[in-house]
Chain A
Amino acid sequence: MDILVVLEDKNGNIHRMSQEAITGAQQIGSEFNLSVGILAMGSNAAALSEQAAQYDVEEVLTLENEHLNHYTADGYGAAVAQVVTNENPKYVFFGYTYQVRDYVPRVSAKLKRPFLNDAVSYSTEGGNPVFSKQVLNAKLVTALQPSDGGPILISFQSAAFSSENIQSGSANARTISVDIDAAVIKTVTEDPFQEEAGGVDLSSAELIVSIGRGIGKEENIPLAQELAKVMGAELASSRPVVDSGWLTPHHQIGSSGQTVAPKLYLALGISGAIQHVVGMKGSKNIVVVNKDPDAPLFELADYGVVGDVLEIIPKLTEALK
């Protein structure tokens, strides 16, 4: 195949970001006349293969190996590097998940082939796809130019492709194997766990007032709490507010926090790092207040205000009482 999509297992199902990567592979495949294969591996490889076989791709590869039953960067890095070497696709696609961040740079180093991470879009140059990535706090975009000579590893940012556009169909099945030396696995993992869940489930909130770095200091948090209260909204935040200890982690929206899609997302002093955006871009209405007119979150806003949140919040609270 020309494009190999590496699936990620989410409790026996194909990870949402892997589905987006499959969608991207199908689109790019049909546009540039490239065939698509899918790799399912790990303890749930059979279940994932079965799901992947319902998509319109050339073939689905199933890889089972005792050293892949639990995720380790050691094992997954070695396995994917071997599969890529054996299959020699032009492109290897991944969703940009936490797991992909963890082991794909190892694959890149083993193969000495580039890893273009976090691609958001592609364009055409000389009959080939060219992939772009956001840089500098998502304020600018750059195209990445890989060196010649072999497979290119690419991971896609959330929502680079919409999995609603995934094409159903059929696929050939093939079982493959890799040779992993037990001595390669130098990591022992324990079972995943959730820290004590606290507070509300933001994912069901209709109105969210969300604060970022622009709130300035811990003493200003009550201003936002008061605004949320008069609006009947839930209070949420971006990561820096939680990192600073001003709000507890269950308030956090984004890739390491909750994903929300309220009727109104009022973002106060949030610049819009991509890790935050992935958690809130499905909101029906986005209103952004930020003193930086170049804050990337304005790109997603239905309504925008360039201004000081500390001046606006108290007056808005008063006006809504």
Chain B
Amino acid sequence: MKICVLVKQVPGSDAQFSVSPDGSWIQETGLPFEMNESDNYALEEALQIREQMGDSEVVIVSLGPDRCQKVIREALAKGADRAIHIKEDSPYETDPYSIATSLANTIKDEKFELVLSGLQSDDLGFGQTGVILGEILGMTTATLVVGTEIQDGKIKVKRELESGWFQWQTMDLPASLAIQSGLNQPRYPSLKGIMGAKKKEIKESSFAEMCDIDGLQAFNGLSVQRAEKQTEMIEGTVDQVVNKLVDVFKNEIRIN
């Protein structure tokens, strides 16, 4: 089975953001970047499907600036077979439809049977790219996928619904699945994997070359979230903070 995994590099979950002077994006200098969390689970799912099916190939596709090479290498070190890097210095200026179009143009001749992506990116959180890509390429689509089984030329997926409910659905291939985090245990790269990754192919193209349409929406600057509530900040040493918290619990909130 030929499997494509869409991998995005995003700022780490602990990153502190400051808006760039022109207000268009954040200042990236010094920020830690890592693989988008749900993409990591999508990659693991692809590697597990390859292990079950045998005779399969896992191809990473990532869109973004040169720094994305780090997560591409990481994915190759974990076991992906090869990668395609669509270069774009300002990926945040594009929208999900344009990105999906560039991805579709990049992979349409590869004839993937399965495209796996993370449910949503931790930076922009559109959560649309994998579904739009599926629609453009005439694939079936499913999101919030928490389990997969390949059966008789179809794929059966377990989808998370709201409030703790789930549903199985059986879909024709090719399919594009947006993977929910937590469905497997992502592996760490082995030393052998890291060494081997250096020899694996990373094909390069550019977003400008691959996206032949105008975007459907654009960012209109970033601003800091305004506070919804008056928050009383408790400051001091750990002991002072703890004493004040006890006071708040007992005398303000009145827990018993």
Q: Flag the segment in B63-71, B106-114, B166-174 that touches A.
A: B166-174
CB–CB B249/A144 < 8 A? no
Contacts of B215 in A (CB 8 A): 147
B94 within 8 A of A: no
**B interface residue count range (under 10 / 10 to 19 / 20 to 34 / 35 or more):** 35 or more
| With known contacts A299-B225, A319-B243, A137–B13 Cβ distance under 8 A | yes
CB–CB B97/A114 < 8 A? yes
Q: How far, in angstroms, from A148 to B249 measured CA to CA in the complex?
A: 53
Q: Which residue of B lies closest to A286 (CB)?
A: B229
Minimum C-beta distance from A97 to chain B (A): 7
Minimum C-beta distance from B171 to chain A (A): 5
Q: How would residues 260 to 300 of chain A score, 1 for a CB under 8 Å from any chain B CB and 0 otherwise? A: 00011000000100100000000011010000101010111
CB–CB A312/B238 < 8 A? yes
Q: Flag the segment in A18-26, A46-54, A100-108, A163-171 that touches B.
A: A100-108
- Interchain CB contact (< 8 A) of A135 among B123, B169, B248: B123
A130 within 8 A of B: yes
CB–CB B181/A243 < 8 A? yes
A182 within 8 A of B: no
| With known contacts A108-B132, A305-B245, A142–B13 Cβ distance under 8 A | no
| With known contacts A112-B97, A140-B222, A195–B231 Cβ distance under 8 A | no
Interface centre among B126, B166, B170 (most CB of A within 10 A): B126
A256 within 8 A of B: yes
Interface residues of A in 88-104 (CB under 8 A from B): 97-98, 101-103
| With known contacts A101-B144, A136-B11, A192-B161, A109–B100 Cβ distance under 8 A | yes
Contacts of B53 in A (CB 8 A): none
Q: Which residue of B lies closest to A140 (CB)?
A: B222
CB–CB B161/A249 < 8 A? no
CB–CB A109/B181 < 8 A? no
CB–CB B144/A134 < 8 A? no
Q: How far, in angstroms, from A32 to B67 measured CA to CA in the complex?
A: 44
**A interface residue count range (under 10 / 10 to 19 / 20 to 34 / 35 or more):** 35 or more
- Interchain CB contact (< 8 A) of A187 among B169, B180, B185, B229: B169
- Interchain CB contact (< 8 A) of B14 among A106, A187, A292: A292
| With known contacts A72-B169, A287-B245, A292-B16, A142–B220 Cβ distance under 8 A | yes
- Interchain CB contact (< 8 A) of A109 among B11, B136, B160, B241: B136
Minimum C-beta distance from A225 to chain B (A): 17
| With known contacts A101-B144, A130-B220, A303-B232, A312–B182 Cβ distance under 8 A | no
B74 within 8 A of A: no
Minimum C-beta distance from A272 to chain B (A): 10
Q: How far, in angstroms, from A256 to B160 measured CA to CA in the complex?
A: 8
A229 within 8 A of B: no
Q: How would residues 59 to 85 of chain B score, 1 for a CB under 8 Å from any chain A CB and 0 otherwise? A: 000000000000000000000000000
A79 within 8 A of B: no
CB–CB B216/A113 < 8 A? yes
B45 within 8 A of A: no
CB–CB A108/B241 < 8 A? no
CB–CB B167/A190 < 8 A? yes
Q: How far, in angstroms, from A136 to B11 measured CA to CA in the complex?
A: 8
Interface residue ranges, B against A (CB under 8 Å):
11, 13-14, 16-17, 19, 26, 95-97, 100, 122-128, 131-132, 134-136, 140-144, 159-172, 180-182, 185, 214-225, 227-229, 231-235, 238-239, 241-243, 245-246, 248-249, 252-253, 255-256
6 residue pairs, one from A and one from B, having the closest CB atoms: A243-B182, A105-B131, A114-B216, A109-B135, A114-B217, A143-B220
Q: Other than the known A294-B17, A305-B233, what 16 A-B pairs have Cβ atoms closer than 8 Å?
A: A101-B144, A102-B144, A109-B132, A135-B124, A136-B124, A141-B224, A143-B219, A146-B216, A188-B170, A231-B249, A239-B182, A250-B164, A292-B14, A292-B16, A302-B231, A316-B242
